[in-house]
Amino acid sequence: MQSALGHPTGCLIGPGASGWSGQNEALKDLIAAERAKNRVAIRRVVERAAKEGELAESKVQGFPTLIDALLLGRSVQARDGVPQVDVHAAIDTVLCHWD
């Protein structure tokens, strides 16, 4: 989706993390809250996977942060035009650690 044609690449949530001035505190806080919601949602998926035996319990702490970082980085990479083949290879690399 972040690389799809027909709309700007990337997303506001990822790149919205930098370049703030004191005049933008409310927007900065809003975007930070949206990123926090994303992290909570990712954690829920990871915890459910561990509960259902798809992921080792020992990976629950690190996987949400890893996936969040991958998605945030992907947003920037979409804007930079990183080829989809590279993106898919990165995702496959992360998922090989999923049990």
Q: For each of the chain's 99 residues, which pLDDT tens digit applies? A: 556 666 555 565 666 556 666 677 778 888 888 889 999 999 999 999 999 999 999 999 999 999 999 988 888 888 888 898 998 899 899 888 887
Q: How far apart are CA 24 and CA 46, in angstroms?
A: 33
In a domain, 71, yes or no: yes
Pick the closest to residue 46 from 33, 32, 31, 58 (CA basis).
58
Q: How far apart are CA 60 and CA 55, in angstroms?
A: 8
User: Domain tally for the chain?
Assistant: 1
In a domain, 75, yes or no: yes
Angle, helices 62-80 vs 84-95, to 10°: value is 180
Per the structure, the complete domain to which residue 20 belongs is given by 15-95
In a domain, 9, yes or no: no
